[in-house]
Chains A and B, each alone.
Chain A
Amino acid sequence: MIFSRRETLALGLGAAALGVLPFRVNAATEDAIAEFAGGADVGEGGVTLIAPEIAENGNTVPIEVDAPGATEVMVLAAGNPLPGVATFEFGPLAGSHHASTRIRLAGTQDVIAVAKMADGSVVQTSALVKVTIGGCGG
């Protein structure tokens, strides 16, 4: 049985488990993570990023971040001209450490979420989002 690349990806990882892909980050992204972490080691686990496996249009891609116990979550798009997307700071009246928004992705790339926990530890995760180029420009 021959699988296409897409099927292999889907089989091997499942849509929700894309976070285990190795990071492909550039210098600007690494710098942004290092600055956010403030010298802390960046671990994994404790932060969830939900993003579509395939985005129909890169102009408006819905994403959600969830990091119980986090004070701040930074979202980066490693393949955009500028990697910054948003930083969510949760205040004392936050009902959860969960937020959703809609973002722009210049092409297929890893979206990265980095969470700073109340104890100062830092964790990150990522999700590969494939951005399709439509057939119809109209």
Chain B
Amino acid sequence: MADNVKPRVRAPRSTAAGETHTLKTLISHPMESGQRKDSDGNTIPRSIIHRFTCEFDGETVIDVTMEPAISTNPYFEFEAKLPGAGEFVFTWYDDDGSVYTETATVEAA
């Protein structure tokens, strides 16, 4: 796994049934594109997070396929319409097989 990978998530603490919320996520990751060369002229191999998902109690909010053109420290902002209290699971999938997860519990308003 890449060094110092740290997810950050902004999710609501509570919700009413049917309420829509804005979510933001940021994860520290170099997103090495595979397009760069080192000082000896050798291509630095691609090493990126290639997929990000957000689920709420097992149902998908968003599922993103990511390519090397996503910037270092990938950021996403999107909206979720929640049926009520439950738990978000955010998952990032690294090329090297590592999986990073973060959860956020949402209570009933």
B95 in contact (CB, < 8 A): no
- In the assembled complex, the CB of B17 is this many whole angstroms from the nearest CB of chain A, namely 12
For the complex, count residues of B whose C-beta is within 8 A of A.
31
Decide: A100 and B71 in contact? CB cutoff 8 A.
no
Which residue of the partner chain A has the closest CB to B24?
A100
B61 in contact (CB, < 8 A): yes
Chain A residues with CB under 8 A of B35: 81-82
B56 in contact (CB, < 8 A): yes
Decide: B60 and A93 in contact? CB cutoff 8 A.
yes
B72-85: CB near A (< 8 Å → 1, else 0) gives: 10111111111100
Known: A89-B62, A95-B20. A80 touches B78 (CB 8 A): no
Where the two chains meet, the residues of B that have a C-beta atom closer than 8 Å to any C-beta of A are 20-22, 33, 35, 55-56, 59-72, 74-83
> Closest 6 A-B residue pairs measured CB to CB?
A91-B60, A95-B79, A84-B67, A95-B20, A95-B81, A100-B77
